[in-house]
A and B are shown apart, each in its own frame.
Chain A
C-alpha cells in the first residue's frame, strides 16, 4: 500500500530530513506469466497499465521498459497539452485526454503540475487566418473552447510578440484555447508508475524485448533480456521503435521514425506566461517553472533512430523565434536533444488491435503524443481489455490505411504535424 502524499506527509518527512520517503514503485523481477504485458514504459504505456488495473480489474500486468521510466519521449517533449483539433475524431480523442488531465493530479495523488495557461496559435498569412478561423468554429461545434484573436488581442495576451506589420511573416491574428497548457512531463510518467505499481502492476526497467513468440494466429509470450515471459495479451506502446517490434511478428506498419528536437534556454524571470505556437514559421515556445524557455523544433525529413537531429532544423526554428520575439536575441541556449517519433501518413495515431490475436498497437503519435497521454492510456486499456476499440478510438484503427478512411490532421493540426 502506498502512503498518501499530503502536506502532513511532507511535514512528517521533513523531520527525518526527507531520507525516509517510501519508494514510489517497486523494482521487481519479471514473473513467469502475466495476463497482459505492455511493451514500453513511457507515459502512454504506464497509463495503459494503470487504467487496465483500475477500470478493467486486470491486476496481473507487467510493463517492460528498455531503459528507465521517464527516459524516453515522455521526458523529451515540450509538455504542451491542447485539444483544438479540426476533425471530429481527433477532437473527441484529444478532448477526452484534456478532461482527464484536469483531474489527474488528484486522481493520481501526484502533482503533475498541470497548468492551464492557454495555448495560442498564430496566423501569418491569409490562408492561416482562414484555416484557424475554420478550426475555431469546428472546435466550438465539438464543445472545445476556442476563440479567435485579432492582432491587437494577440499583443495584449502576449505582449512580447513582435506584431509589427513589417516583419517577414507578420502576425495577422491567432486562436486561443484557454483550457490548454502544460504539465510536468516526467511527473506524469512517475505518477502513473506509482499509481499502477500500487495496484500490483510490475514495472520492469532495463528489460529489452528481443522477440515475440507466436502460436499460429495468436501471441504466446515475449523473449526479453530478462528471460521468457508468457502472456496472451501484448500491448505495444514503443513510440519510435514500434516498427522494430512489429518486425518481430512480420507486421509492417505505416510509420516512419524521425528525430524530433527540442531545446531549452538558460533560466530567466517570468517573461511568457502562456504557450505560443506558430505553424507557418514553425516556432513554438513556452516557459518552464524553472524559468527556461522551452522551444520545440521540427523533425528531420529522413528516417533515423539516432536521438540527435540536424543542426539546420534548430537554426531554422530559432530564426523564426527571434523574428517573433526580438527580446530573446541575446539569450543563451543551454541544452538541445532529440527523440525518435513515429509518424503516420495522416499524422494521426493508431490505437488498434491487429490481425494477430492478442497483439495490440498504440503508436503513430508522431510529434504530438504527450498531450494525449491519459486519454491514450484509457482508450488503449479499453481496447486491450475488451478486444474491441472504444468509440473514441474506433477511427484510429490500422485498417484505415486499407479502407482509405484517414484522419488527415496534417495541415489541420496546429504545429509540428
Chain B
C-alpha cells in the first residue's frame, strides 16, 4: 500500500487507483496479419520485472484518467509518474 501522485489530482491513497499492468505494449497495427506467436506475445506474455517497471494506472475512484508510472516492484517505491503518450522520464 502506498501513495500515488496522480498527474491530474495530486497525491492520493493507492486504494483509489486500479492497476492496468505493463505499459507501452503497443496494439498491433495489422491484427489480421499476426501469427499465433505474435498474438500470444501481445495478449499474454509479460516482463513481470522484479525491479523498476513501467506500468499503467487508472485513477478509478478519482478523475478516472489513465497515466503511466515508473515503480520499483521490489520495494513499491514510485520513481516517476507521467501522462499517457509521453516518453518514460527515466530508463
Q: CB-defined interface of A290-324 with B at 8 Å, one 1/0 digit per residue?
A: 00000000001111111011111000000000000
Looking at A39-47, A110-118, A247-255, A388-396, the stretch in contact with chain B turns out to be A247-255
Q: CB-defined interface of B40-77 with A at 8 Å, one 1/0 digit per residue?
A: 11011111111001010000000000000000011110
B14 and A303 contacting across the interface, CB-CB below 8 Å: no
Q: A243-B50, A244-B50 are in contact. Are A303 and B44 (CB under 8 A)?
A: no
Q: A256-B21, A311-B1, A402-B36 are in contact. Are A305 and B46 (CB under 8 A)?
A: no
Q: A304-B73, A402-B40 are in contact. Are A254 and B19 (CB under 8 A)?
A: no
Count of chain B residues with a beta carbon within 8 Å of a chain A beta carbon: 26
What is the CA–CA distance of A300 and B45 in the complex, to the nearest angstrom? 20
Give residues of chain A (235-266) contacting chain B, Cβ–Cβ below 8 Å: 241, 243-244, 247, 252-257
- The number of residue pairs between A and B whose CB atoms lie closer than 8 Å in the complex comes to 71
Q: A301-B18, A302-B55, A306-B75 are in contact. Are A252 and B46 (CB under 8 A)?
A: yes
Interface size class of A (residues with CB under 8 A): 20 to 34
Nearest residue, chain A, Cβ from B1:
A310
**A386 is an interface residue with CB less than 8 A from chain B:** no
Q: How far is the CB of B73 from chain A (nearest CB, A)?
A: 5
**B37 is an interface residue with CB less than 8 A from chain A:** yes
Q: Interface of A with B (CB < 8 Å)?
A: 241, 243-244, 247, 252-257, 300-306, 308-312, 342, 345, 401-404
Q: Report 14 cross-chain contacts, Cβ distance below 8 Å, ordered by A residue.
A: A243-B47, A243-B49, A253-B48, A254-B45, A255-B46, A257-B73, A300-B19, A303-B21, A304-B73, A306-B74, A306-B75, A308-B76, A402-B36, A402-B40
Q: Interface of B with A (CB < 8 Å)?
A: 1, 14-15, 18-19, 21-22, 36-37, 39-41, 43-50, 53, 55, 73-76
